[in-house]
Structure 1
Amino acid sequence: MRLNRMSLGLFIAVAFVAGIIVSPRVHHLIGEAHAQAPAAATLQPMMIDLVALKHGDLPGTPNPEMNSKGLVTSDNATIAIQSGNVAKHNHPKTDEIQYIIEGTGAMWLGNERKEFKPGTLIIIPKGTAHGGSIVTSGPVKAIAIKIPPQPAGDTVFMN
């Protein structure tokens, strides 16, 4: 019985958080960060083979070590595939979730160096330092989810 109550409580908490993430009305109430986000396209059903996408297949970025391609844009979040490395930084207005698909190494997460490997899920609350990876096998390829969509100027590089 205790396990069922705990499972029910966990389910309710996850459902509540999911409702906040997907509710445009809640994001409207949050304010300016949402207003500055890029306009969203209508979502289309699709399947994407992320394993088949290689570093060189992805468009370059201003960071010469990072390639990235946006996959999904909505009013509430963006999802991109990233390959490469970026210096230690934070996002003051955007939460980020990364899922490592390929590559191993260590990166800054807050004030600690944390190891990662394929299958690692990295939760990065807004304002948390991250990046500056030491790659032991790579390039590192990850899915990056930004909530809400990252506004221009929301990357602050750190020493």
Structure 2
Amino acid sequence: MRSNVVASSLALGAAFMAGILVSPQLRQLVPEAHAEAAPLSPMMIDLTALNHEALPSTASPELRAKTLVVTDNATVGIQSGNVPKHIHRHSDEIQYIVEGSGAMWLGGERKDFKPGTLIIIPRGTPHAGTLVTAGPVKAIVIKIPPQAKDDIVLVD
């Protein structure tokens, strides 16, 4: 039963990502397309093999992350861990919780999440900090348009 839920959740996340990456409407909504993207290649990625320890460390000591797909319109990555409360001025963020459960800041509220939760974070929305009740927490993260390196502003 649990494997069916995980498989369904992963399939839903993959279909969602594919729609974002190829949507012609998205190209019209995102005028600041980045020219750094390489052409997409067919591939399969085993997300279950990408546990917290297998992901590269980041500037945030509690966060590990890996970018999986880069296009002119969006990036798709996987992350595990915590970050301080922050905003992105120029990128919208979508997170799909693959593993783990807990709570995070979203805007001015603490919100619970569990596997299968889709979190929509419009640009300018403060978000952060996972209170883990079952972990580790692993999420697929989509940034539209791709997040610039300087597009993280810490907030109180």
The within-5 A match list for 1:106-125 is 106-125=103-122
Moved >3 Å (runs of 4+): none
Aligned length: 136
**Secondary structure of the residue that 2:38 maps to in structure 1?**
coil
What root-mean-square deviation, in Å, do the aligned CA atoms of Structure 1 and Structure 2 show? 1.8
Q: What's the CA shift string for 1:79-116, capped at 9, x where partnerless?
A: 00001111111101000000000111100111111000
Residue 4 (structure 1) aligns with: none
8 A contact 1:85–1:140 mirrored in 2: no
Gaps (5+ residues) in structure 2?
1-18
Matches within 5 A, 1:69-84: 69-84=66-81
TM-score of the pair, normalised by structure 1 = 0.80
Corresponding position of 1:20: 25
CA distance in structure 2 between the partners assigned to 1:45 and 1:151 by the alignment: 25
What is the match of residue 13 of structure 2?
A: none
Partner of 2:65: 68
Q: Is the 8 A contact 1:92 1:155 kept in 2?
A: yes
Tell me the residue number matched to 1:157.
154
Alpha-carbon distance in 2 for matches of 1:74, 1:116: 28
Distance 1:83 1:45, change over 3 A: same
**Alpha-carbon distance change, 38 to 143 in structure 1, aligned in 2, over 3 angstroms:** farther
Q: Residue by residue, what CA displacement relative to the aligned partner does 1:32-76 show, whole Å, maximum 9, x if unpaired?
A: xx4xx4710110001111122110101000111000011000000
2-structure distance, mates of 1:91, 1:26: 17
Provide, for residues 17-42 of structure 1, a one-character-per-residue CA deviation record: whole Å limited to 9, x for no partner: x4321x2x653xx34xx4xx471011
